[in-house]
Each structure stands twice: as C-alpha cells, then as structure tokens.
Structure 1
Amino acid sequence: MMNLQAILDSIYGELQPRLGEGKVADYIPELAKVDPNQFGMAIATVDGKLYSVGEADTSFSIQSLSKVFMLTLALGKVGEGLWKRVGREPSGSSFNSIVQLEREEGIPRNPFINAGAIAVTDVVLAGHAPREAIGEFLRFVRYLADDETVTIDQKVAQSETQTGFKNIALANFMRAYRNLDHPVEHTLGVYFHQCALAMSCQQLAKAGLYLAARGSNPLTGHSVVSPKRARRINALMLTCGHYDGSGDFAYRVGLPGKSGVGGGILAVAPGLASIAVWSPGLNEVGNSQLGSAALEMLAARTGWSVFGD
C-alpha cells in the first residue's frame, strides 16, 4: 500500500522553493490582497482517510470550484433538460469570452465557463428568491463536506459585485437571447455569492468525495447523485474544467479537475480519492501554477491518471 502522506510531504518539499510563483487574481480586489506564498493540499480517500500538507486547513475563496457543486444541484432539479440551456464542449476561448456567446446565440459552450455557470445558477434560482437560492447552495456544500462551518466571504462577494462588469455583460447577453429566466441582478447576486464561498483544502477534498465514490460520500453514507451522473460530471471536469488549459491539464495530470482563480483545484481519482490543492499564484490561463504542478507530481507518483499509470 502506498504511503500517501509521504508522497504529499515529498511534493510539498520539492515545491517549497517555488512558493509565490504565478500571479494572484488582481482583478477581484479582495483576491489581490491574498499572500501568494501559500500552499495547501489534501487527499480524502474513499476508504475514509484524510491526508494533508501545508496550509490545508486555511480557508480560501473557491471561486469557480463552486460551479461543480452548482451544476450538481441544477442536474438534480432539471436533469438532462439542463443541456438545452448550456453545451458540453470545451470552449477554446477565455473563460469570460463574449464573442463565442454571440456566435452561438446565447447558449454557452459548457457549464464551467462563466456564461455557462451563470445559466446553471439561473436554473437553480427557479422558484426561489436569491437569498433562498444562496442558502440552498450553502446548505448543499455543508452537507457534502459534512461541515457546518463552511461560509460565504461577504467581502469577496461584495468585491465581485462591484467589479464583475464582464459577467454582467454576459448575463445581459444571455437574457437578450432568452437564455436567462430571471432578472440579471438576481441571477448574478447568487452567482457572485456562490463564487465567494470560502473553504479549506481539507473541506474541499471531503466535499468532492461523491465524485470519486460513484455518487455517494463514503464518509457520511450520504447518496448525492447516481453513479451515472457522477461519471458524467467527471467527464465534463476532465474536458472543460480548466478553461483554455483543460487539454494541457488532461495531458499532464490525467484526472478530472476544476480550477478557480482563487488558486484552488479540485481533482478526482475515480474510485480512489478526491484531491484539493491551493496556491494563489496563477499561470497565464488562470489556473494555480503550483497547484497544477503538485497534481502532476501526485498523478505520476500514484499512477492515478484515468488513462493508466
């Protein structure tokens, strides 16, 4: 049996001289204040063990990692009907591109680019006031992580609301094409709050376990989604989870994953483990530079790539 703690310790040791690499997401004022010299990593295995290293219990803004959880909620509400509103193909464009949205008449390419995630949030908002939808989302993530202390960082939510002009443009564009059912400010209010969720690597690794364990959380026994749906969410994470760097991440790491501009990455080794890594410095396509390197090392040392060792 491999020693996962020893593997994590060795990865951390090798990456320490590189702490601070990359560039923090400075277009969200609150994220610009984060110290880039931080690194945390946690692995939650399907047999109930948790391994961690570095600042794995430090909360950070999960940003686009929230899109995985909101997608799970939306599929629970409308099932396969969701795909009338959003596609399932990699974008090949910037995560907040409006050009593609115009060309494809208001149907976003996939649920992990910003336009797609806003459409998914609009689905979850149906029948709710924005505050209720935010509450439902927060309760769901607490349920996944089995942790009532998970919270939304109001300062980050406010920071995004005040500066999210591209997202406002994307939402208005979709509303013009009738692919948004609610007032733009209602849908975006929920979206900005979901992205401002603060979690640690340990909490995230536990929350992602249902994707590693055929739709159920083995730590709590909670059934979250069907095995088929878990498999399909993993497929989307593999092909679309890293914006325009998704192909490169699949090539180097070979695991379904979702990144966020807060510097976090959630990765899934199906049948084995859920992995969360965080380091705030981003590479040129908006993914954590050291986080990506750490996952590449982990995949190489464990043989966990979905494509074989």
Structure 2
Amino acid sequence: MDRKIKLTDLKSTVQEAYDNHKNDTGGAPSKKVADMNQGMFGISVRLTDGTKFDVGHTQAQFAMGAISRLPIAIQLLTQMKAQDLVSKMGLGHKGCGCGCGTKPEEPQQRVKGMHAKGVRAASLVEPVGDFDGKMEILSNLMIELMGSSPVLDDGLYEATQKKVEEKNLVNSFAETGYELYDDAALSINLYNRLRSMLVTTEQLAEMGATIAADGVNPATNAVAFDGSLSATICAMMAAKGPKHVGKAWMIITGVPAMSGFGGGFITVIPGFGSIAAFSPELNEAGVPMKAARAIKEIATKLDLNAFGSARIELEK
C-alpha cells in the first residue's frame, strides 16, 4: 500500500507543531548545561532526496549527550557483526548472545556517576589503546554523517572530566568488576569528549537522513557507512528509544528516536528522512520536553510509523 505525503502538508504540519509547543512551560535544563540556550526551540527536517527545511532556533548549538552513542554504534557495527556487538555489550545470556536478557552478573554491577554501558561501547572502538586514533575515526564519521564537524565544548568537557577525578570513577570500574575492552581512563575520556560535542538540529537531522538513506549523506553524497547496516542501526534506536520512555514512545509513534541531556532529539524514518528538534528544558525522564511533544505530534499526524507495510514517499 502506497504511503504518500505532500511536501506542503509536511511543512505545514511541522510549522503547526512548532507553533503549538513553542510556548510550552515546565521542565528544566540539565545542570550540566543550565546556562545554555534557555527558552530556545527548533525543528529541522532532512529527507533522503535532499529536501530540507528548518523552523526556529535550528542553528543553536547544544551538547550531544547520549546521542553520541549513535555514531559510536555505527562505528562498532562497522568493526563487528551485530551478534558480536550484542554479546560484547552484555545484552544476552552467557552462551546465547541473542539479546533476550542480561548476563547473570550484570545487575550486581553498578558504577555510580557514569553511564557504564556508554563507556563500555567507547572501549570497544578500535584501535585499542589509541585515544587519538579512536577520536579521529569517530570525528571523520560524524563529519560524513552530518556534513560538518561538531564542536567541542571545552568547559563542559573539562567539568565532566573533573567529576571523574573527584568521584574516582576510573577505579570504580575495577572495583565493581565491570568489563571494559580498553583502558578505563582512556574509555571514560573518549565517552566524555563525545558527549561534550556541540551540534545543531540541522546537523542531527542530516545524520538521521544519512541513516535513512542507507549510509549515503543526501546533501554531500558522501558514503558514511555500509548501507546494509542501516536496518540494524534503526532497530537499535527503536529498542533503546529516548531516555526512560523508549517503550511508550515506540508504541505511540513507531519512529526510532534518541535524545540527549543537551536538549537534542533525533528521529529516523527509513527511506524517507529525519526530523530533529531541540529544546533545553527536560522533563522528569530527562527528555527534551518541547522537542519530544512536537515530533510526536508530527509523527502521529502524518503516520510516519517506521513499521508500516510500505515506505513513505514524498509528493512535491
């Protein structure tokens, strides 16, 4: 069954969602970035055919936060099979690796003050023991995905690293027996650096559109990764979802998405494109409130559900 959307309807729906939520109140920015961009709100659309448009504060820069795990995952899937990644990340029973549960010992492992699995993912990036080498590979990948380079927020990065020292987090990984695949200090440093990168909704939407276009950036035509990985990447986004609201989000919208503490929100609609939004005020779950509400409204009104029986086509 064909699923066609007129460009005029897409633009009007995005504008309407922006207008409906731009004055929403409530929530608060993360303490990590409390002084950045308060009250701003923007939505960017990038489609696989190169169509693009923006509404609001789409050039405002904000920290990637957990969204940085998306380029990390793409790099890891380039290095290894999805089955191996699931096993190494501890997402399946021992000897199974099917992702049907956690390792028996995992629930007992706690590293307070740090997203341990994010650090574990960073530790898997090759080359092992080479911070600069890892960073160069990931930086180049992000440029290919976004069409431009994110910018490091030195202040945020330094503050985050200072907390690592104050809380002695490097030793915490050893004390809890939490498995990493590279030096703990190096892996934490890499993860914190990526989380402290500043991006815009325009860059996030271009990254999402590149994933939707099977690894080819629609704006630059650069091949960022093997297109056969796109389905796995979208499945990963769907399984994880925005912070603490993944299941509810997928049931309501059917659109793979991720969010970060900086206020960014990215979606991918395979074969169609991406809608990204930004609003620094987070709800109790840590999700950017206005951004999530606006994209939910757009997704449900236009039926952008990625699990539909046919891919969506744009009528200009």
TM-score, normalised relative to structure 1: 0.84
Q: Root-mean-square deviation (CA), in Å?
A: 2.9
Deviations 1:78-97 (A, max 9, x none): 333222221458xxxxxxxx
Q: Is 2:87 aligned against 1:84? A: yes
Aligned mates of 1:265, 1:297 — CA distance in 2 = 14
Give the corresponding residue for 2:66: 64
Maintained 8 Å contact 2:129/2:186: no
Aligned mates of 1:250, 1:104 — CA distance in 2 = 25
Maintained 8 Å contact 1:85/1:107: no
Per the alignment, do residues 46 and 249 of structure 1 end up closer, same or farther by CA in structure 2, a change over 3 Å counting?
A: same
Aligned mates of 2:140, 2:165 — CA distance in 1 = 28
Deviations 1:77-123 (A, max 9, x none): 2333222221458xxxxxxxxxx995446699xxxx93222111101
The secondary structure found in structure 2 opposite 1:190 is helix
Give the corresponding residue for 2:282: 282
Maintained 8 Å contact 2:241/2:249: no
Per the alignment, do residues 135 and 155 of structure 1 end up closer, same or farther by CA in structure 2, a change over 3 Å counting?
A: farther
Per the alignment, do residues 116 and 60 of structure 1 end up closer, same or farther by CA in structure 2, a change over 3 Å counting?
A: same
Per the alignment, do residues 268 and 16 of structure 1 end up closer, same or farther by CA in structure 2, a change over 3 Å counting?
A: same
Moved more, 216-225 or 249-258: 216-225
Give the corresponding residue for 2:160: 160
Give the corresponding residue for 2:139: 138
User: Superposition pairs for residues 10-29 of structure 1, below 5 Å?
Assistant: 10-18=16-24, 20-26=25-31, 28=32
Aligned mates of 1:50, 1:256 — CA distance in 2 = 20
User: Superposition pairs for residues 124-273 of structure 1, below 5 Å?
Assistant: 124-148=125-149, 150-164=150-164, 169=169, 172-173=172-173, 177=177, 179-273=179-273
Give the corresponding residue for 1:92: none
Maintained 8 Å contact 2:110/2:176: no
Maintained 8 Å contact 1:114/1:167: no
Aligned-pair CA distance for 1:65: 0.6
Aligned mates of 2:41, 2:159 — CA distance in 1 = 24
The secondary structure found in structure 1 opposite 2:133 is helix
Aligned length: 291
The secondary structure found in structure 1 opposite 2:268 is strand
Per the alignment, do residues 169 and 102 of structure 1 end up closer, same or farther by CA in structure 2, a change over 3 Å counting?
A: farther
Maintained 8 Å contact 1:39/1:54: yes
Aligned-pair CA distance for 1:141: 0.6
2:289 alignment partner AA: Q
Aligned mates of 2:261, 2:166 — CA distance in 1 = 15
Give the corresponding residue for 2:95: none
The secondary structure found in structure 2 opposite 1:255 is coil
Per the alignment, do residues 88 and 8 of structure 1 end up closer, same or farther by CA in structure 2, a change over 3 Å counting?
A: farther
Q: Is 2:15 aligned against 1:9? A: yes
The secondary structure found in structure 2 opposite 1:33 is coil
Task: Give the 4+ runs in structure 1 shifted more than 6 A.
Answer: 165-168
Per the alignment, do residues 166 and 289 of structure 1 end up closer, same or farther by CA in structure 2, a change over 3 Å counting?
A: farther
Q: Is 2:55 aligned against 1:53? A: yes
2:261 alignment partner AA: V
Maintained 8 Å contact 1:21/1:290: no
Per the alignment, do residues 167 and 119 of structure 1 end up closer, same or farther by CA in structure 2, a change over 3 Å counting?
A: farther
Maintained 8 Å contact 1:44/1:274: yes
The secondary structure found in structure 2 opposite 1:216 is coil
Moved more, 284-293 or 3-12: 3-12
Give the corresponding residue for 1:301: 301
2:28 alignment partner AA: K
Q: Which runs of 5+ in 1 are unaligned?
A: 90-99
Aligned mates of 2:107, 2:15 — CA distance in 1 = 46
Q: Which runs of 5+ in 2 are unaligned?
A: 1-5, 93-102
Deviations 1:169-221 (A, max 9, x none): 49843785362132221111111000011111011111222221123223322
Per the alignment, do residues 174 and 251 of structure 1 end up closer, same or farther by CA in structure 2, a change over 3 Å counting?
A: farther
Aligned mates of 1:151, 1:168 — CA distance in 2 = 27
Aligned mates of 1:25, 1:164 — CA distance in 2 = 18
